[in-house]
Amino acid sequence: MSTTTKRLACAVALAMTFLSRRAPAQVTAAAGYVPPDDKPSVKVGVTIFTDYTYQSDPKGKDANGNEIDPNSFNLSRAYVNVTGQLHHLISYRVTTDVTRETGSGSSLNGSLTVRLKYAFGQFNMDDWLPGGSWIRLGLQQTPYIDYAEGIYRYRFQGPIFVDREGFITSSDFGLSGHVSFPSNFGDVHVGFYNGDGYAKSEANDQKAVQARVSVRPAPRVAIAKGLRLTGFYDADHYASDQKRERFIGNLTFEHEYVNAGFDYLNAKDRSALASPEVTGEGYSIWATPKTPVGLEALLRYDSLKPNKDVDARKKRFIGGIAYWFNPAKGLSTALLADYEKVDYDTKLNKPDERRYALHLLVNF
């Protein structure tokens, strides 16, 4: 081997030794990182509301014209929920519900029939925005009722105030978006809907714009973190120049030993061009004191003035005792015994109502 070749071999060997000493350590994934799960999935769940209700007022009449106290076993909700994802960015929900068929002349008159309550696709934006941010298209929850029921928890007794009085609907056909605020400070949900609800087809060329903004003023303060302030607005029309508008202000508080809330409603309606605009207003206040053993009380008072220009109110009181069972995670089962009374001022020309009921919730 020539002297030049030997010198070249020695130079290469030295260079390799130098580079091997300077080579960086193997790079590994950051600790705690979990890649998104993109496997398609499907889950099936069930929600059941059933009850026995006895009505002492107003009285009814049987087939022979005898005065009776109406009473019956009922099924007010039977959801079959199918949820899942096609990709971590794309998820879906399909929910069927039951309703009592009341169409005159139908062979199904009086039967329980199945209908769709929800059927939507969802584009998840958690990769770019705070968790729980998304866009939905299809038959879906409207911004307010689903949110409020998650805090109230007693929908199986009956709808919340604004739903029970028929001012807004819980589900509709449309497009909506939801964004969560950082650090659990709240969220905003805005939607563009038909406006007539899931039980009806679109009746006109008008669309409803609905928006809810909820804020937690102090999400990191021990007790105050359960406080939320909410504003909701629904702008719609029965037809051009016929306003259907709702504003709701909501204050809620959640704690280990009590949930409580207050709703204020202002509603403007002009259902026909020949009719004047009517403004209704009302409020609902409720509380559900809790115990560590699953026993809870339900206390609620609603007051509605259907027309602010007429001095007449509809007033509802609900009182009950519930037991929430403690099943496996993801399941909710509760039994509620309650009393409900509804009083109408004379100008409303309706009979007062008195009901006693036993309600059962099953959800999984």
pLDDT at 106: 67
pTM of the model: 0.86
∠ Cα 33 38 42 (to 5°): 125
The torsion angles phi and psi of 182, rounded to 5 degrees, stand at -60, 155
DSSP 195: S
Query: 112 in helix, strand or coil?
Result: strand
pLDDT at 165: 97
pLDDT at 285: 98
Residue pLDDT tens, the chain, 364 long = 444 444 434 443 444 443 344 444 444 445 566 788 889 999 999 999 999 999 999 999 999 999 999 999 999 999 999 999 999 999 999 999 988 877 656 677 778 888 999 999 999 999 999 999 999 999 999 999 999 999 999 999 999 999 999 999 999 999 999 999 999 999 999 999 999 999 888 888 899 999 999 999 999 998 899 999 999 999 999 998 899 999 999 999 999 999 999 999 999 999 888 889 999 999 999 999 999 999 999 999 999 999 999 999 999 999 999 999 976 666 789 999 999 999 999 999 999 999 999 999 999 8
Neighbouring residues of 191: CB distance < 8 A, sequence distance ≥ 6: 140, 142, 143, 172, 174, 175, 176, 177, 209, 210, 211
Query: 146 in helix, strand or coil?
Result: helix
Domain boundaries, the chain: 38-363
pLDDT at 100: 80
The residue to which tokens 């307010």 are assigned: 144
Distance CA 320, CA 360 (A): 13
The answer to whether domain 38-363 has CATH 3.40.50.11440 is no
Characterize 84-121 residue by residue with b for buried, 16 or more Cβ atoms within 10 angstroms of its Cβ, and e for exposed: ebeeeeebbbbbebbeeeeeeeeeeeeeeeeeebbbbe
